[in-house]
Structure 1
Amino acid sequence: MQQKSELLNVWLSLSNIHTHLNEKLELALLQEYDLSLKEFYVLHFISNAEEKKLRLLQLQELVGLSQSAVSRLVVRMEAKDCGALERHTCEDDRRGIYTRITKLGENKYNKALQTYNQVLQTELEKDGFETQLEDLTKKLF
């Protein structure tokens, strides 16, 4: 029984690390670019997709949000004050909707990516972080 409890504790510790990193990343992206972490991930996935476009269903699966949440997020990112995305109807399937990153969105993503990497690197280089992570992962295996 002790082993099961220890695995749970290790997993919770890893989850706390993940949550802490996400909070730091989100704060930096919101402060500098008015982008949530999910919005940043949307720009990332679309920017790296073939032809820089994805169907909303694909985006939903990649970002891990419900269909309605992805729809609302894309609408916000298409709005005139953001303008990072634009929607298009799929030519072979009129029910399908693609969202494509705009030049403005691409520029915003590239700048935000630098901040994202900088914040992540700073957090990963903090004293004891690597040792803590190594200890936790060893306990999992």
Structure 2
Amino acid sequence: MASKRSDAWLKLIHVVAHVESELGKVLQARHGLGLSEYRALDILARSENSELRMQELAAYLRLNQSSVSRMVERLERAGLTVRDLCPDDKRGVYTVLTNDGRTRLDSAQPDYESALEAALNEHGGQTLLASYGVKAQ
């Protein structure tokens, strides 16, 4: 017999999967960005000098090095990021948010936020967040 903890965990997984799916659809359709790409731009924008070592970006996104490298290549081809060598360690590679990347992020953020709100409401996420003291917007 399943425990309350297991039931709650499955509910949380269900809500997150639905919300992530809907966010990904909106970002792709309206801004040509995958959800991980959007998150990478957001993380870079919040980072000092809008740059991170590739390993740090991978850790933030919870992706492996190969997946992050492919994603950064796509972002570079689109002009949203550039790579730069670490001045102290030429083996270290940074990815840096460009002005075009910041513009795309700024354009996508309102759609991301409204899609997040709608998906949370539709799939019961607001109730889960409220249990942690996070209020609806």
2:101 alignment partner in structure 1: 105
Could you tell which deviates more after superposition, 6-15 or 41-50? Answer: 6-15
Structure 1 residues 127, 58: closer, same or farther in 2, change over 3 A?
closer
Cα deviation 1:91-138 (Å, max 9, x = unaligned): 10000001101111000001111111011122334496544x37988x
Alignment root-mean-square deviation, CA: 2.1
Unpaired runs of at least 5, structure 2:
133-137
Distance in 2 separating the partners of 1:66 and 1:110: 26
Change (3 A) 1:97 1:30: same
Structure 1 residue 75: deviation in Å? 0.7
The amino acid of 2:70's aligned partner reads: R
- The AA in structure 2 aligned to 1:41 is R
Q: Which residue of 1 aligns with 2:117?
A: 121
SS of 1:77 mapped into structure 2: helix
Query: Structure 2 CA distance, aligned partners of 1:107 and 1:127?
Result: 30
Change (3 A) 1:70 1:130: closer
What's the TM-score once normalised by structure 1's chain length?
A: 0.85
1:92 to 88, 94, 105: 88
Q: Indicate the percent of aligned positions where both proteins have the same amino acid.
A: 32
Matched residue SS, 1:87: strand
2:65 aligned with 1:29: no
Aligned length: 132
Q: Distance in 2 between matches of 1:49 and 1:57?
A: 14
**What are the equivalent positions in structure 2 for 1:1-141 lying under 5 Å apart?**
2=1, 5-79=3-77, 82-126=78-122, 130-131=126-127, 133=128
Any unmatched runs of 5+ in structure 1? none
Measured in 2, the distance between the counterparts of 1:117 and 1:9 equals 28
Aligned-partner Cα distance in 1 for 2:86–2:130: 49
Structure-2 change in CA distance of 1:31 and 1:9 (3 Å)? same
Deviation at 1:10, TM superposition (A): 1.4
